[in-house]
Amino acid sequence: MNVDRAKQIFDSKDTIAVQLEGQSVWIEEVDAANGMATVQIGSDPLNTQTVSVERLKEGR
């Protein structure tokens, strides 16, 4: 995924499925300048990671 698409998903009112290495994630923040995104993994709000947006895939 690229930074622009990650920002579109983050800003969208719709729920758009995103995956990180096969796990469902929610995008919580996009750092466009550095090409990074903070994501919540699964349903645990305390389980977050900051990863390159290139590792994210739009999924089902």
For residue 59, the model assigns a pLDDT of: 82
CB atoms within 10 A of CB 2: 11
Q: pLDDT tens digit string along 1-11? A: 999 999 999 99
pLDDT at position 60 is: 67
Domains and CATH numbers, the chain: 3-58 (2.30.30)
pTM above 0.85, yes or no: yes
Residue listed under structure tokens 């089902």: 60
The dihedrals phi and psi of 38, each to the nearest 5 degrees, come to -95, 125
How does pLDDT run across 11-58, given as a tens digit for each residue? Answer: 999 999 999 999 999 999 999 999 999 999 988 899 999 999 999 999
